[in-house]
Amino acid sequence: MSRSIPYKSSPLLASRTPVWRSKLVVAFLALGFVALAARAAYIQVISNDFFQRQGEVRFARTLELPASRGRILDRNGLVLASSVLASSVWAIPEDVDRDPKQLQQLAGLLEMPLAELSKKLQDEDKTFVWIKRQVDESVGRQVKALKLPGIHVRPDYKRQYPESDAAAHVVGFTNVEDNGQEGVELAFNKTLAGKPGSRRVIKDRLGSVVEVVGDTIAPVDGSDLLLSIDSKIQFFAFQKLRDAVREHKARAGSVVVLDAQSGEVLTLANFPSYSPAARQNLSGEQLRNRALTDSFEPGSTMKPFVAALALQKGLVRPETTIQTAPGKLTITGSTISDAHAYGVLTVNEIIQKSSNVGTVKMAMQMQPRDMWEIYSAVGFGQKPQLPFPGAVSGRLRAYKTWRPIEQATMSYGYGLSCSLFQLAQAYTLFAREGEMAPVTLLKAIEPAVGVRVMDARHAAAVRHMLHLATQQGGTAPKAQTIGYSVGGKTGTAHKQEGKGYASKKYRSFFVGLAPVEQPRIVVAVMIDEPSAGQYYGGAVAAPVFSEVVQQSLRMLGIQPDMAVKPQIVAQAVEESF
C-alpha cells in the first residue's frame, strides 16, 4: 500500500521554486564548461608556447657534439699536441641512488674523494651537473657498466702532449672546455678549435633519449697547424739547458734557435718547465716562456752593433787602432772600466776581447740618434712580430733624452732592455749580410724576404770579429764546435735590484751564428743567476751554445765546414760587463 507525500503540510515543499532560478544555475554550469573548454583550446592550440617550453625544460636537451681540436705538428710532421677520445661523466642529482657503496665505487673509478662527489650531488634541484671531465675512455666504459641511476657518460676529447716539458712553453695547453690557455694553443685557438655540433633530443626522467627533435648539426673539426719548430732540436736544446741550469745552480735559463735564412723559429726552450698534461700546483716561474716574456739588459752582446755602425759611418775600419789604456774612462763623473788594461786595440780586438773602453770611444764619435736608429732597426724597443701571448717589447728610450753617460753605457748594453728572442733576431743582421730576417712560428713555404739595414761588407766584417771572439784570445773559446766554424758574443750583466744593481747576481749570455762563412742558424743562450762560482757568459752560456749548434746543424743536414779533429779550447779572456 503506497503512502502519498504530504506536500501541503510541509512549508519547504509547499513553496514553489521560481523557474528562472533553476535556469540560472544551469546557465552558470554551462558557462563554466564553456570557459574550461575555451581555456583548454587556448592553451593547447592557440598559445601553447609557455607550456611547451616548460615541458622542454624538463625533458628536452640539446646535446653538444664535440669537435676534434686540430693537431699541432712540428716542421717534420711529428705530433706536438693532439686530441684523443675521452669520456665526461655527468649526473641528474635527483635521480641518483644515494647508496654509499655505489657512490664509493664511482668515486674510486673517478679517482676523486667521496666527499667531493657527494658535494656535487647534494643539490637535487639541479637537472645537470658535471662529475668529472675528460676521463680516459676505459674509465668511461667502467662507469657505464655500473649502471647507476642518474649517472651518465658522454663522449669527449682531451689533449695529449707527447713532448711534455721539453716543448711546453711553445705548445701551451687548453682547459677542460678545449679552449687554448697558453702558448700556440692560445695564439692559434681559432684555427685549432673547430666548431662543435648539436642535437636536440627528448629524454625520459632516467636520462634515456626517446626522441630526436629537429636536425642534427654535425661538428666541424679544427685545422692542423704546422709549426716551424723542430721537435728533435727542441728536445736536445732543452736537455742541455736543463743540465747547465742545474750544474751552475742557476735560477732559470732559455735557448732560442732561429733559421737565419728562412726566419723560422726552430727552438724556444726554457727551464724550469712543466708538463702540459699535469698542471697541478704550477707557479708563474714554470709557466713563463722566458725567452719571449722576460726582458733584461743585454750587456756586451750589444757591442757588435756599435762596431757595425762605426764601420757603416766610415768612422773606423776593422784594423783601426784605439787606445784603451789605462783600462778606464771617466764620463761626466762616472768611470767605465775594462776587465784588463789592454792598451792599444784594433776594432777587431775590441770585439774579440769585449773592451768597454774601446766600444765607448767608438760610440762617443756618433750622435745618439745614430745609435738609436740601428738599435730600433734590429728590433729593440719593439714587440716581436710573433702571434705569441706575453711577448715583450723591451725598453729603448728616445734618443733625445740620452745623457752622455747613458749613451756610453748603452753602447755596452746597460740602460736598455730586450728579450732573448729579440737578441737572437737582431743577430740575423750579421748572418744575412746586413739584412734583418722576419720571423715566423709557422713552417715557411717561401724564402724570407729581409729588410736591409747595412752594407753586406760591414756585416761580414763584424761576423769575422764574432768569429775571433770564439778563438784563442777571445772571450768564448768554449763556444767552439767540432766540425763547424762559429762566431758570437758573450755577455754578462749585473741584475737590477731596486734602484741599483745586485753585486753578486748576474745574467750570462751567449748569442752567435754558424757556420761563419754561410750562416744557417742563430743561437742565443741565457742563464739566469748562476751561483756555483762561474758567471761569465763565456764560461756558463757558451758551452750550451756549442752543443746546441753542433746538434742543430747535424739534424738540419748541414755539412761540416771544418776538419773534424780534436780541438784544444784556450782559456777565455774575462769579458767586461
Per residue in 56-67, pLDDT (tens digit) is 555 666 666 778
| 448 shares its domain with 313 | yes
Please give the pLDDT value at position 277.
Answer: 83
Q: What is the DSSP letter of 2?
A: -
pLDDT at 125: 66
In a domain, 562, yes or no: no
Relative to beta strand 72-73, strand 225-226 is parallel
Predicted structure pTM score: 0.84
168 inside domain:
yes
Q: Are 186 and 277 members of one domain?
A: no
Residue 452 and residue 375: Cα distance in Å, rounded?
Answer: 14
Of the pLDDT bands very low, low, confident and very high (cuts 50, 70, 90), residue 390 is confident
**Would you state the pLDDT for residue 564?**
63
Residue 539: inside a domain:
yes
- Give CA angle at 301 (298, 304), nearest 5°: 140
**Residue 261 belongs to domain with CATH number:** 3.40.710.10
Non-local (6+) Cβ contacts of 522 within 8 A are 256, 257, 258, 260, 424, 425, 427, 428, 431, 511, 512, 513
Q: Looking at the structure, do residues 196 and 278 belong to the same domain, yes or no?
A: no
Between CA 69 and CA 195 the distance in angstroms is: 9
HSE-up (13 A, CA, CB side) for residue 75: 21
| Residue type present at position 372 | W
Res. 114 pLDDT band, cuts 50 70 90: confident
Q: Tell me how far apart the alpha carbons of residues 301 and 16 are, in angstroms, rounded to a whole number.
A: 122
Residues 152 and 294 in one domain: no
- Domain final residue, candidates 226, 261, 276: 226
Do 387 and 309 fall within a single domain?
A: yes
- Give the length of the chain: 577
Map residue 264 onto helix, strand or coil.
strand
Whether pLDDT at 357 is above 90 = yes
Residue 83 annotated in active site? no
Residue 1 in domain: no
Q: Minimum mean pLDDT among 116-125, 361-370, 439-448: which range?
A: 116-125
pLDDT at 284: 73
Count CA atoms closer than 13 A to 524's CA, side-chain side. 27
Range of the domain at 140: 62-112+127-203+210-226
Same domain, 185 and 238: no
With a cut of 60, say whether residue 13 has pLDDT above it. no
pLDDT at 449: 87
Residue 73 lies in a domain: yes
- Domain assignment of residue 561, yes or no: no
Catalytic residue of the set 300, 417, 419, 552: 300
Residue 353 backbone phi and psi in degrees, to 5: -100, -5
pLDDT of residue 161: 94
Instruction: Tell me, yes or no, whether 240 and 346 share the same domain.
Output: yes
Query: Which stretch, 16-30, 116-130, 490-504, has highest mean pLDDT?
Result: 490-504
Q: State the SS3 of 209-259.
A: EEEEEEEEECCECCCCEEECCCHHHHHHHHHHHHHHHHHCCCCEEEEEEEE
Are residues 163 and 271 both part of a single domain? Answer: no
Residue with the bigger pLDDT between 54 and 75: it is: 75
Tell me how far apart the alpha carbons of residues 272 and 254 are, in angstroms, rounded to a whole number.
9
Give how many domains the chain has, as a whole number. Answer: 2
- Decide which of 92 and 367 is more confident: 367
**In terms of domains, do 321 and 425 share one?**
yes
Q: Higher pLDDT residue, 95 or 528? A: 528
Do 164 and 271 reside in the same domain of the chain?
Answer: no
Task: Assign residue 351 a region (left: φ > 0; alpha: ψ between -120 and 50; beta: otherwise).
Answer: alpha
Same-domain pairing of 215 and 136: yes
154 and 280 both lie in a single domain:
no
> What residue type is assigned to position 208 of the chain?
S
89 or 198, greater pLDDT = 89
| SS3 call for 378 | coil
Q: What pLDDT is recorded for position 11?
A: 61
Domain membership of residue 505 (yes or no) is yes
**Cell, residue 137:** 675512455
Least confident residue range of 271-285, 317-331, 369-383, 427-441: 271-285
Q: Find, among 463, 488, 459, the residue nearest to 475 by Cα.
A: 488
Query: Does residue 522 lie in a domain region?
Result: yes
- Per-residue pLDDT tens over the stretch 155-214: 888 899 999 999 999 999 998 888 999 999 999 999 999 888 777 766 665 556 555 566
What tens digit of pLDDT does each residue of 279-310 get?
Answer: 777 777 788 899 999 999 999 999 999 999 99
**Does 124 have pLDDT greater than 90?**
no
Tell me which of 26-30, 43-47, 248-252, 361-365 is least confident. 43-47
CATH of the domain at 180: 3.90.1310.10
